[in-house]
Amino acid sequence: MAAEILFVNPYKKKLFDGTIDLANDTIKAMLLTASHSTDIDAHEFADDISANEVSTSGSYTAGFGGRVSLTITNSQDDTDDEGVADLTDFNITNFTGSPAFIAYIKEVTDDTDSPILAIEDLNGAQTSTAGTWSYTTNTEGLFNIA
């Protein structure tokens, strides 16, 4: 299965509600093990998927308040006629673990009210051993609306 990003349906609704501001809200990357299986209908909040979050290691701290804080910049792409949410690349240092998915979430007050935006399938576990786990954003950005 190729790597892909699946938007969960509750987030699609929230686009119309206008309740998530990618550039200004606390958007985080939550790393999940290969035991995770995405359900775009049912996965709405972080606590729906937190059972399969990777363990704390190196600069990654599992659980609400930890994880990886993301910097997202919104722009307009007139060439491709898209709205673009671009993500600054990020690293996790001295990390031992095997993330197979990244959940993009907005942290609010705890995992029960922190909505999931989308879940990226990394096409299998990407195992780091006491090393640097680095993520390079696609040249087209993280999210596009076409």
Partner 1 sequence: MSIAIGSTDTNETDGTTTHTLTTTGLEVGDLMIAFIGQLNSLTAASRSGWTEVDTLSDTDFLGTNDGVHTCLAKIADSGDVSSGSFDFTLGGNQEAMGLLFRLTSSESGFNISSLIVHDSDFVAAASSTATFSGGVTPVAVNAFMILAVFTHDDSNAISGYDIVTSDPTWTERTDRGYVPVSSGFRQAIATGVRSAATATGNYAVTTTQDKNIFGILVAINEVVDVAVSGSVGTLNAVGNVGGVTAGANITGSVGTLNLTGNVGTNTQEDSKWSNTDKSSAPSWTNTDKT
Q: Could you list the residues that contact partner 1 (CB under 8 A)?
A: 3-7, 12, 15, 82, 87, 94, 96, 118, 120-122, 126-138, 140-146
- Give the nearer residue to partner 1 in terms of CB position, either 24 or 146: 146
CA distance 128 to 131: 6
Closest approach of Cβ 57 to partner 1, in Å?
10
Closest approach of Cβ 13 to partner 1, in Å?
12
Closest approach of Cβ 75 to partner 1, in Å?
14
Secondary element (H or E) of residue 118: strand 116-121
Smallest Cα–Cα separation from 5: which of 123, 96, 88? 123
- Give the nearer residue to partner 1 in terms of CB position, either 45 or 104: 104
Specify whether the CB–CB gap between 85 and 142 falls below 8 A. Answer: yes
- Give the nearer residue to partner 1 in terms of CB position, either 9 or 52: 9
- Give the nearer residue to partner 1 in terms of CB position, either 73 or 132: 132
Cβ of 71: how many Cβ atoms within 10 Å? 11
Secondary element (H or E) of residue 17: helix 9-17
CA distance 91 to 136: 9
Closest approach of Cβ 35 to partner 1, in Å?
16
